[in-house]
Structure 1
Amino acid sequence: MSAKQINPFLKSALEIGPIIVFFAAYLLLKDRVFTIGGTDYQGFILVTAGFIPLMLVCTAALWKLTGHLSPMQIVTAVLIVVFGGLSVWLNDERFFKMKPTLIYLMFGVALGIGLLRGESYLRKVMEGLMPLRHEGWMILTKRVTALFFGLALLNEVIWRTMSTETWVYFKTFGLTAAVFLFFMTQGSLFKRYGLEQEGE
């Protein structure tokens, strides 16, 4: 079933809003320590605790308004609950920092399995946005698969070797910028394999 069309600004707010709120809350609380039930919690943990229900509410609102959620949105919500919950429960920020790694690895592996079968699972998700010939989808899928594995590795390097603040900036802006720049550099592929080039 295709998704219902909603106001694009509302859609963007529901998708990106929780990340912006997380970033702003982190900047506000990053240097504070909260004692709850005799246990000290860094600001990052409290912000993570608030991010989980906010993300779930926004995801539920998207589903209610559009009647559809992508596989990535569903998996992301599940991993936020699991790894965000572990970070809060165990008072250990490392679990939440692992989440992007697992998301990118899972989708990289899924796309790779499709490639081994001679299929583009990316096409099933994005065909309505970018009509391409089969050859174009296969090339784009190979590139996106490599991108996902690269981002998974990059996230691991950054959270394991740099400060929490650096990771938050990377998670909020770096990952989004990387995906945006990637698709900006695929113009020649879209022109070469776009169905519009074939004519009627």
Structure 2
Amino acid sequence: MKESPVSARKEINPFLKSALEFGPILLFFVAYLRLKDNTFTIGGTDYDGFIVVTAAFIPLLVLTTGIMWMLTGKLARMQVATVILVVLFGGLSVWLNDDRFFKMKPTMIYLLFGGLLAVGVLRGQSYLKYVMEEMMPLDDAGWIKLTKRLMLFFFGLALANEIVWRTFTTETWVYFKTFGLTAALFGFFMFQARLFQDHSPEKDDA
């Protein structure tokens, strides 16, 4: 008997999952702090610490994402899109020795996610429900509300990233990317507690 896609999914230790998801980001941050003032000459070309750390971050993220896929049998579409954009924009930064491309990567990610959610909203659908229904049970009205809010939030993050990397130092952007964007995402979902309560399917069944 063929195993269903749902039953084929595997659960892994939550600490290991967190290490695979956030480990590369934290390692990037630590490595940047250690190497930010250094210059490396490779093949006759000088590369600053940011470019060197970016070059190391790309295969590390691909590796940890691959391990996640092997251990769980699945990857979220957001994870796949993130890896693709990291390889594309990070690769351009290393190849052209220009850190601007990698700094633009969060902007592209949030514009992509916000744009996809907007397409769904215009069609009267919640693409967010399709991705996160197992994690956050909501009724249909709740999914539409959450999708609209998250769509606007993603566009706001894209704008914030553009402002920070274009007007502040690279070090400030690294802090913003490592901690600011992550904290903003956690904060967003924490402030949706009322929505989760008002649109819980269990509430409708009561």
* TM value normalised by structure 1: 0.98
Deviations 1:90-143 (A, max 9, x none): 100000000000000001000000000000000011111111010000000000
Q: Distance in 2 between matches of 1:198 and 1:128?
A: 18
**Match of 1:62?**
68
Shift of 1:14: 0.3
The 5 A counterparts of 1:69-148 are 69-148=75-154
Q: CA deviation at 1:187?
A: 0.7
Aligned residue number for residue 160 of structure 1: 166
Q: How many residue pairs were aligned?
A: 200
Aligned residue number for residue 31 of structure 2: 25
Unaligned stretches of 5+ in structure 1?
A: none
Following the alignment from structure 1 to structure 2, what is the Cα–Cα distance between the partners of residues 138 and 198?
16
TM-score normalised by length of structure 2: 0.95
1:173 and 2:179 aligned: yes
Root mean square deviation of aligned Cα:
0.8
Q: Structure 2 CA distance, aligned partners of 1:149 and 1:20?
A: 25
SS at match of 1:198: helix
Q: Percent identity?
A: 64
Please tell me the residue identity of whatever aligns with 1:10: L
Unaligned runs of 5+ in 2: none
Q: Quick check: 1:186 aligned with 2:160?
A: no
Could you list the structure 1 runs, at least 4 aligned residues long, displaced by more than 6 angstroms after superposition: none
How many angstroms apart in 2 are the aligned matches of 1:191 and 1:184? 12
Counterpart CA distance in 1 for 2:181 and 2:21 is 15
- Tell me what 1:198 maps to: 204
Give the 3-state SS of the residue equivalent to 1:41 in structure 2: strand
